[in-house]
Structure formats: C-alpha cells, structure tokens
C-alpha cells in the first residue's frame, strides 16, 4: 500500500470503528441466517393483579319513624268520623312530605263515605294537590271511566297510601307510607267497605306488606289485615291507570281485574 493510500485506509477504519466494528474475523464461523430463525426468548408474563372483591352497596337505612307513627295512631284513634279524621290528617306534622315542597295541602279522599269498595292508590300528584281530591288528573279520569264501565260509580271511596304530594310526583317511600298507615286504617274502619282495590305497585306492596311486583300480584285475591288484627278484608291489586295511559295494551288485564272484583262484590252474602 502506498503512503498516499494510508489516509484513506485510516479514514475507512475510523468509519467502521465508529459503526461498532472492532474485529474483522471471529475465531469460529457464525451462520447468521440460521441464527435469525431462532425466536428470541419472551419475557415472563406478568400476572394480572387480583382485584379485591367489590363490596356490595349497603341498602339505605330507612329513617326511624316510630315516634311519628305513634302520634298518627293516637290522632287516628281519636277520630270518630271521616270529617274528624280529615282534620287530624291536615293538622299532622309527622309526615315529611308535608314540608318537602311538593305539597300545598292534604289530599284525603273522595266518594261515598259508606262505600262497599275502597280504592287505594299510591299518592296525590300535581292535579290532586291543586284540587284537594285524589285521582282527578288524567289517571283519575281514566279510573272513573273504568269504574263507571264496571257499574261501580257511586259505590267507591277513593284514597291513597299518603296524603301529601311527593316532590316531582315520585313514588312515596315505605317510611312515608308507614307514617300515614294509621290514618288509612282508621278510614277503612270508619267506611267499613266489603273489599279493597289496591291500585299500583306501591299501594299493593304497602297495604299487603309484600315485595312482589304488581304484574305478579294483580288479578289475585289477597287478605288485608289491620295492624291490630281487628279487621280483615279481601284485597285485589290491579294496574295503576297512569301505567295504562303509557301502556294501553294493558287495559285488558285491568278490565279483567275489575270484572273479577265486581263479580265478588255483587255476590250474595252467605248466611251465617
């Protein structure tokens, strides 16, 4: 190699050195093609962390309404007429619905004070609160038409499980219904109906102390019993007319319920 070529050789060697080549030949030949066919070792798979079991959400505790229930029982027991009972309800402050902003007055009942049938719904809505009577809105108008078609006009007393409108027309809670229950029972004792028509799931569950849905309970006779066991009456749950307005196809089932009730209501009493 000439002296003139030395700078070129040195530059080439420097280039390979910078590229990481530090040897021209190895002691043993290496088959690079065969080596490329061997899969590189895979890193060990990490075990997924075991999640702790989620705690089941606690059911919200119902407020203690025992004092309010005791007060309602005392007021109801002291009412010897529906008029006195309505006044006791209006003056009762133990139900929180009275102060939650949805109600402007107590909505008690309407109809025949000696009716053979008592219809018990869930609670008053906006129209009922405005007029001071239960079932006077669209759902109430449908209920009246159904009762008329079944020949029950003038033979019913209509009320609810609570007497004040829940905010936003929501379903009353079991605690709110429990506070008003002594007044409902006293109304039943004063009217002395032969049977009860329980309208809607919230009414049927509260009156019968059952957790079944209304579609399961409707159309079947149940026994309602007062808290002291002094009164027992046959009770028939049925669909709420507000539900029928949303699901017109269900009107047939509600009509069957009314026919079942009317047949039993008009059945001659058996001699004792």
Instruction: Collect all residues with Cβ–Cβ distance below 8 Å to 131 and sequence separation of at least 6.
Output: none
Q: What is the mean pLDDT of residues 42-61?
A: 55
Cα 126 to Cα 168, 225, 256: the distances in Å are: 8, 31, 29
Six-digit token string for 97: 């619905």
pLDDT at 50 over 50: yes
Gap between the Cα atoms of 207 and 237, Å rounded:
10
Instruction: Collect all residues with Cβ–Cβ distance below 8 Å to 189 and sequence separation of at least 6.
Output: 226, 230, 231
212-270 pLDDT, tens per residue? Answer: 999 999 999 999 999 999 999 999 999 999 999 999 999 999 999 999 999 999 988 75
pLDDT at 40 over 70: no
pLDDT at 15 over 80: no
Q: How far is CA 18 from the centre of its chain?
A: 77
pLDDT of the residue at 272: 46
| Model confidence band, residue 95 (pLDDT cutoffs 50, 70, 90) | very high
pLDDT at 203 over 90: yes
Q: What are phi and psi of 225, to 5 degrees?
A: -130, 135
State the CB neighbour count (10 A cutoff) for residue 144.
17
DSSP string, 151-218: T-TTSEEEEES-SSPPGGGPPPPHHHHHHHHHHHHHHHHHH--SEEEEESHHHHHHHHT----HHHHT
Q: What is the mean pLDDT of the chain?
A: 87
128-180 pLDDT, tens per residue? Answer: 999 999 999 999 999 999 999 999 999 999 999 999 999 999 999 999 999 99
pLDDT at 23 over 80: no
Identify the structural domains of the chain with CATH numbers, from first to last. Answer: 66-265 (3.40.470.10)
Q: What is the mean pLDDT of residues 52-68?
A: 66
pLDDT of the residue at 102: 87
Q: What torsion, rounded to 10 degrees, do the Cα atoms 228, 230, 234, 236 define?
A: -30
């Amino acid at each position: 190699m000439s002296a003139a070529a030395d700078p070129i050789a040195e530059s080439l060697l420097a280039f390979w050195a910078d590229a990481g080549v530090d040897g021209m030949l190895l002691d043993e030949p290496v088959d690079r093609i065969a080596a490329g066919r061997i899969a590189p070792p895979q890193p060990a798979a990490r075990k997924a962390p075991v999640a702790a079991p989620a705690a089941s959400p606690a059911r919200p505790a119902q407020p203690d309404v025992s004092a309010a229930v005791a007060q309602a029982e005392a007021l109801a027991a002291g009412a010897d007429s529906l008029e006195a009972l309505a006044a006791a309800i209006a003056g009762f402050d133990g139900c929180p619905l009275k102060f939650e902003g949805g109600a402007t007055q107590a909505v008690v009942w309407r109809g025949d004070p000696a009716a053979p049938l008592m219809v018990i719904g869930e609670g008053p809505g906006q129209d009922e609160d405005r007029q001071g009577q239960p079932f006077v809105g669209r759902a109430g108008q449908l209920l009246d038409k159904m009762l008329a078609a079944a020949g029950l006009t003038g033979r019913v007393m209509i009320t609810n499980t609570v007497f004040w409108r829940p905010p936003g027309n929501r379903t009353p809670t079991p605690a709110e219904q429990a506070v008003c229950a002594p007044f409902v029972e006293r109304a039943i004792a004063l009217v002395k109906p032969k049977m009860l028509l329980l309208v809607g799931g919230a009414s049927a569950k509260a009156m019968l102390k059952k957790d079944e849905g209304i579609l399961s309970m409707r159309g079947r006779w149940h026994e309602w019993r007062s808290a002291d066991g002094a009164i027992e009456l046959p009770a028939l749950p049925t669909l709420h007319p507000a539900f029928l307005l949303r699901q017109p196809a269900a009107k047939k089932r509600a009509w069957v319920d009314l026919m079942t009730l009317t047949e039993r209501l008009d059945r001659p009493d058996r001699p004792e």
